[in-house]
Every structure is written in C-alpha cells, then in structure tokens.
Amino acid sequence: MSETPLLSAVNLHKTFKVSSHNNSTGVLTALDRVSLQLFAGETLGIAGESGCGKSTLAKIMAGLLKPDGGSVLYKGKQLAQLGQNERTVFRRKTQMIFQDPFSSLNPRMRIGDSISEPLKIAGIPAPMLRKELTRIMTAVGLQSDVVDRFPDEFSGGQRQRIGIARALAASPEILIADEPVSSLDISIQAQIINIMLQMKSDFSLSMMIVSHNLLILRHICDRIIIMYLGAVVESGPASELFQHCRHPYTEALIAAIPGLHTANVSRGELLRDDLPSALSIPSGCRFHPRCRYAVDLCRHEVPKITDHGNGHSAACHLSNKLYG
C-alpha cells in the first residue's frame, strides 16, 4: 500500500437546512469533522445506520457535493484548488456506483450506448470501441448481444452490472459505491460482490464502499470506518475491528449480525432507544444516550479519537476499560 493517500478527507463538515411540518427550519448535521484516507489498491468500507452521513460522505469524496468546511484531497492536492484540466481528470478517474441502478441510467438510451459513452468521450476509435465494450461487459457478466436493449428490459441485478460497466468504461482509479447491493435479492448480492472483488484485481482499482451491512464489508474490505450521527467513532483493519472492536456502537452493530456469535448480548441490550435526530446532536459523546456503559464524563465531554495501534482507532472515553 502506498504511503501517500490516493484520496483523503480532512475535517469534513456538512449541514443541510430542513423544514418541518410546522414550517420551522432546522439545521441537520450530516458530517462533523470527518477525516479518512484511501490508499492505492485498497478497499475501504464505510458503515453505520441510516442517517449517519455515509451517502453524503460518498458524494463529497466523489466531488458531487461540496462540503461546508474541511477539504478533499486527490493525490495530495485539494479538489477546490484543481485547475479545469485537473478537475476533468479527477472526474474521469473517480467514478460512482449508486444504490438505485435504474435511476442512474438514461431510460431512453440503449445500454451499449450508455456504457460506451465514456469511451467515446475519451476518444477511443470506433474499431477499438466495440472490442473494449465487449471486454467490459464480459468482466461484469453481461452478454455482448444485449447492447441494443433498454434499461427497463433488465432485472435489478443486471442493471447494477450495467452501472458498474459504465463506471469501468471511464478507466477509473477510484470506484465509490453507495450501498451497491442493498436493493438487490440476497442471491444477486453475492454475484455483484464477487464481480466487484474480481474487477478490483482486473482493473487495479481502489474502492470506497458504503454499506449498512457490516458482514459484506468484512468480506470485501481491507479497512472499515464506523460512523455515527455524522462522525467517525471507530476505524481499523476489517479483521481487527471484528475480533477486537473498541467502541460500544461497533460492538452493537456486530452483535446485530444474524448468526455471528461474537458477543454475549444482543444488539437490543447494547443499544438503548432509537437513533437521535441529526437536527439535535447530543452533547459530549454523541452515542451516550444509547450506550449502556455511559458515565457522567460521556455526557459532557466529546471523546478524542485515540490510536490503539495497528491502524485501529476509536473515539470512546471507556475504550481501554471496556476492551482492554
């Protein structure tokens, strides 16, 4: 793994103004001082419950959304400081796969044209274009004889393959996938995951995968970052995080995985109440209202992210006491 991050975030902050049913306006905190690094050849997982800021983070890292504060760096240079030509290169080299494969495709465009559009923009000559199109479609498990069909003629799993193929056609370095299999049947999820693992090797990709499914991330990621209410609460190597988690929220998420008996208590026992609103972030440790271990310090002081060695860190006042 390279010492210099391919893509990184430094203290990202993002809020949204929202209106309630009584026409009052509030400020929703989507991201709060989020920092991360993605290295060349690495697969990084971003996990957490719905509403924790995962999708917002993915869009900002892909350059599709601007942060209110902090910065995203591509090969050490801030996106905001890139010239027009450099920004064009970044957009081509950083591709995104969305949760809903149908809405990301033009319903009036034949899939062959949709997938090959990045190839045409890149100036690939016509004789080579068909050959490259066939290669990419084969890589994601699509038959080349379906190029003249439209997106609504395909199943959800096939449409996700089309979306992946379109992303690959741009010859990216970085692939950012936002819940790429959550809308698919379990059997189809496995197929898409295997395709992503294979294409990482075949196309020399670095990947950032957003998912609420920790088991999937454990299978395909080198490192995993756990987010809660817009903040990073734990990060570390995937195997290390599962075997020796350092935050009660991570412990609860792992306990919730069916059939994975790594905890002596259930998620229900580990998590109190429902997820608080991002319109009103709790004081101190934002997780304390749901944490069965919380003490007075947790309610009043924001925990710092502490390094526990081996690239494993967590933001918990009681980490050493609870997990040794």
Statement: residue 198 has pLDDT above 50: yes
Domain assignment present for 15: no
Between 33 and 145, where is the model more confident? 33
Q: Identify the H or E element spanning 37.
A: strand 25-38
Statement: residue 1 has pLDDT above 50: no
pLDDT in tens, 264-305: 555 556 777 778 888 889 999 999 999 999 999 999 999 999
Mean pLDDT across 132-137:
90
For residue 318, what pLDDT is reported? 96
Domain count within the chain = 1
Give the Å distances, CA to CA, from 57 to 150, 176, 226, 266. 31, 10, 12, 29
Q: Report the distance separating Cα 146 and Cα 124, nearest Å.
A: 21
Average pLDDT, the chain: 89
Domain assignment present for 61: no
263 contact partners, CB below 8 Å, separation of at least 6: 251, 254, 255, 270
Domain assignment present for 25: no
pLDDT in tens, 98-127: 887 677 788 899 999 999 988 888 788 888
Domain assignment present for 313: yes
Domain assignment present for 54: no
Mean pLDDT across 190-218:
89
Domain assignment present for 318: yes
> Are residues 174 and 36 in contact, defined by beta-carbon separation less than 8 angstroms?
no
Q: Which of 114-118, 174-178, 246-250, 263-267 has the lowest mean pLDDT?
A: 263-267
Domain assignment present for 171: no
> Are residues 224 and 214 in contact, defined by beta-carbon separation less than 8 angstroms?
yes
Mean pLDDT across 191-208:
88
Mean pLDDT across 45-56:
93
Query: Could you give the percent of the chain with pLDDT greater than 70?
Result: 94
Q: pLDDT band for position 59 (50/70/90)?
A: very high
> Are residues 210 and 58 in contact, defined by beta-carbon separation less than 8 angstroms?
yes
Between 138 and 184, where is the model more confident? 138
For residue 260, what pLDDT is reported? 66
Determine the residue type at 228.
Answer: Y
CB atoms closer than 10 angstroms to residue 64? 12
For residue 41, what pLDDT is reported? 93
Strand, helix or coil at 121?
A: helix
Q: Tokens representing 118?
A: 């990045």
**In degrees, to the nearest 5, what angle opens at C-alpha 106 toward C-alphas 100 and 109?**
140
Domain assignment present for 8: no
Q: Tokens representing 93?
A: 């080299």
Mean pLDDT across 180-201:
84
Domain of 271 in residue numbering reads as 243-324
Q: Tokens representing 25?
A: 């306006």
